[in-house]
Amino acid sequence: MESQGEGDSCTQPPADGYLMHAGYAFDGDGGCISDARHHATAFLETARTEHHLTVSDHAKDLTVLVVSELVTNVLKYAPGPVLMELRATAELVDVVVWDTDPTVPATLAADPGRVGTRMCRPAAW
């Protein structure tokens, strides 16, 4: 399992209003899901300790769940390298994941009987 990233230590505040951001690249093997969760947890811990942001356990749990689901979907539908970016303000965390499939994902109509394909709201602090 190989991961790279400027995200091992958070970068300076970007000009777009985020207090912190980090980027990670994963090789796309099955172990990268766990690695992505680990990086998300470390990112939020840095938000707490170095940036003095209040990060609730609920927000941490939701963020790690979203990271896990998104990276899992990449491996399921577009095997190969995975890029992940985490960005935070005082109120929210953004999780952005890129894959190698050039096809834009389609939005599906709601179906309460369908398993999976859930939509998640951003986690608030």
- Residue 87, pLDDT > 90, answer yes
Q: Considering the entire predicted model, what is its pTM?
A: 0.74
Q: What is the pLDDT of residues 20-65, one digit of tens each?
A: 999 999 998 878 999 999 999 999 999 999 999 999 999 999 999 9
- b/e per residue, 92-112, with b = 16+ CB within 10 A? ebebebebeeeeeeeeeeeee
Rg (CA), the chain: 15
Confidence of residue 117 (pLDDT cuts 50, 70, 90): low
